[in-house]
Each structure stands twice: as C-alpha cells, then as structure tokens.
C-alpha cells in the first residue's frame, strides 16, 4: 500500500526509506515533491549482496559504475546458467566460467569474459549487510533534515524570493498571502484548468474580468477601491497594482521603517483575507454580504491582530488617525 501511495521506484527503496522515516514524513518529502529523492543515494554492495552479478537484479539496478553487465556483455549473459546468481557467490567461485554452459570459444565471447573479469577485479565487498549510502550527509546515513534542506534549496532557486511572513497577523492570514503569491487558491480559473465545470469564469465581485488571483486581489474594482482607502489612511501614494510583483515593488519603495512596512504589509494581508471571505460569502451564502462595511472590518480586525502581537503601545485613535506615526 505504501509503495503504491508514494509511487517509488522499487520495493527495496521503499523498505530502506521506511526504516528511517515514518509514513507521514515519507509522504511529505517524497509524494509532494517533484525531485528524485533516490538520486541522492548509491546502490548497496556488500558481502551479503543479493543483486544478480550479471543481471544486476530483476529491477535492473546499477550496482557498478560500468552499468548493467547483462547489457554490456550480452554474450556472457547468454552463457550464464544462473541468471540471478549474487555477487558474493560469483566472486567466491574458482572462476567466472564455472556457471557458464560451456567454455568460451574465443572472439567476442573471450573479449567479453576478459572485460567482465576486469570489472569483477575492482569490486570490494564490505563485511556488512546491504545498505544504501546517503550522499547528502558525510557519514552516509540518511536523515530527514538533510533531505528537507536539499528540497528547500532546490525550491528557493526556482522562486523569486522566499515566503514572506508577517508576525503581526495570524498564521492563517500569512498562509493565504503565500497562496496568493504562488497562485495556489481555488479561483474559478484555476478550477477550470483542472477540468472542473463551474459554469462561469467571471469574477463574482465585479463580474467584469475572469476570476484569477491577480484579478481578484489586484485588478478588481472592489480591491482597487479598498487599496485607495488604505493609501489615504496611511498617507502614502497609490497609483494602482496589476500584480503581486507590482504591489511588492510599491511596498519596497515606501519611505518607512522596516517594522512599519511590516505593519502595513500585515494590513494588506488582512485585506486579502477579507476579500477572499467576501468572495466566498457572495458565492455560497444565501444572503449577500454588505460591501459598505468591508473596509471598516479590515481596519478594526487589523487593529485587534496587530495590537495583540506588537510590543508597541498604541491606541485605537492612533490606529485610526495616524498609523504611519506608530513607533513599532
């Protein structure tokens, strides 16, 4: 069952990985990533090696750098009577020709036998059970931390920047902002791309454009009106956004302290939280929500969340009149 869920390459890899990780860790680090985890490990080769010497096991795994011997030396493989003979048994025999159907007859057979002998002469078997060698750790022992670090490093190269987390607002709001950045929300457009029939692709807030994350949170008229009010409230210039990247660039150019920018960023995250909730209520509630109180709810909830998580002491009046003068 676990092999089927994780879609790993073979049973041996599953058994090895599952001895060092629990099911949840395997599922997170393998099933949900696009990286070949087992490219970071080497095939086992020891005294108790079970892989076929020439056939290199039924799974066609490569236990030596030369490759799969049955493909490199097909004439010798055809002569082999025991296709699944293991490495230890083959090397302990008096000669590599012991298990062949007949002695080699020269020509290609003789040349391939010499080549196989050269390969076997370079094999050193350790007096221990078969095991995989983990390449991401110096001692060769697998660890969850090394795999997680490798996956994180690979992901950070493919993304413009790391995830932005604002400590002044709840985790659930940060997660929503993270999904907006990655375009991972179940908007109508994203659902349609997955083959789900949802009827209309139009934005439920303005009914003007197709509902994408970019449209819903940056282009929609309702979002634009709220951003204009936030800009007036915080006494900053606002010329409109058309994407997450433009909003991030606008935020970076503001002449405020880093902590105050984080506070304003939290207000925008909170705005996205209420916009997404407003959109869901329009779609799924029997009673249409009121757009008039949307901005007021954003201001009040931002004060509650930021005030409870910020060390600075500021009042409700400070938050309403001059939030940009707060010393965080």
Q: How far apart are CA 304 and CA 121, in angstroms?
A: 74
Whole-number Å distance between alpha carbons of 47 and 123: 11
| pLDDT higher than 60, residue 9 | no
Task: Write down the pTM of the prediction.
Answer: 0.56
**How would residue 72 be classed by pLDDT, with cut points 50, 70 and 90?**
confident
Summary mean pLDDT of the chain: 78
Which residue did the predictor score with more confidence, 138 or 186?
186
pLDDT at residue 251, rounded to an integer: 94
Instruction: Enumerate the domain spans of the chain.
Output: 2-43+132-158, 171-325
Could you tell me what percent of the chain has a pLDDT over 90?
A: 39
For 17-56, what is each residue's pLDDT tens digit? Answer: 444 444 444 444 444 445 555 566 655 544 334 445 655 4
Instruction: Kindly state the average pLDDT of the residues 191-220.
Output: 93
What's the pLDDT tens digit per position in 246-294? 999 999 999 888 989 999 999 999 999 999 999 999 999 988 899 999 9
For residue 118, name the pLDDT band (cuts at 50, 70, 90): confident
Q: Which position has the higher pLDDT, 45 or 113?
A: 113
- Name the H helices within the chain: 2-6, 11-18, 23-26, 69-72, 74-79, 87-92, 107-121, 144-158, 171-182, 188-193, 213-214, 221-234, 244-253, 258-284, 294-309, 316-321
Under DSSP, is residue 100 helix (H, G, I), strand (E, B) or coil? strand
**Percent of the chain scoring above 70 in pLDDT:** 73
């Amino acid at each position: 069952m676990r092999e089927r869920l994780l879609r790993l390459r073979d049973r041996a890899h599953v058994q090895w990985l599952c001895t060092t990780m629990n099911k949840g860790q395997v599922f997170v680090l393998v099933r949900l990533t696009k990286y070949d985890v087992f490219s970071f490990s080497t095939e086992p080769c020891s005294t108790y090696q079970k892989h076929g010497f020439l056939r290199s096991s039924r799974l066609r795994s490569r236990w030596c750098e030369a490759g799969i011997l049955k493909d490199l030396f097909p004439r010798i493989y055809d002569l082999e009577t025991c296709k699944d003979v293991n490495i230890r048994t083959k090397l302990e025999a008096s000669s590599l020709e012991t298990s062949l159907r007949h002695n080699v007859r020269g020509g290609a057979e003789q040349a391939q036998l010499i080549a196989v002998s050269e390969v076997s002469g370079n094999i050193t078997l350790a007096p221990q059970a078969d095991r995989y060698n983990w390449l991401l750790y110096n001692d060769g022992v697998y660890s969850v931390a090394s795999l997680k670090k490798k996956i994180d490093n690979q992901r950070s190269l493919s993304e413009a920047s790391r995830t932005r987390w604002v400590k002044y607002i709840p985790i659930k709001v940060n997660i929503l902002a993270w999904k907006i950045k990655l375009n991972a929300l179940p908007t109508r457009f994203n659902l349609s791309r997955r083959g789900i029939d949802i009827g209309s692709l139009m934005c439920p807030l303005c009914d003007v454009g197709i509902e994408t994350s970019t449209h819903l949170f940056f282009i929609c008229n309702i979002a634009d009106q709220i951003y204009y009010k936030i800009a007036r409230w915080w006494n900053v210039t606002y010329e409109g956004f058309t994407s997450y990247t433009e909003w991030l660039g606008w935020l970076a150019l503001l002449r405020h302290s880093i902590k105050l920018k984080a506070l304003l960023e939290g207000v925008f995250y909170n705005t996205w939280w209420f916009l997404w909730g407003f959109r869901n209520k329009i779609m799924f509630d029997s009673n249409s929500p009121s757009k008039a109180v949307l901005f007021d709810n954003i201001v009040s909830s931002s004060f509650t969340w930021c005030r409870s998580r910020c060390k600075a002491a500021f009042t409700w009046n400070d938050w309403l009149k001059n939030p940009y003068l707060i010393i965080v």
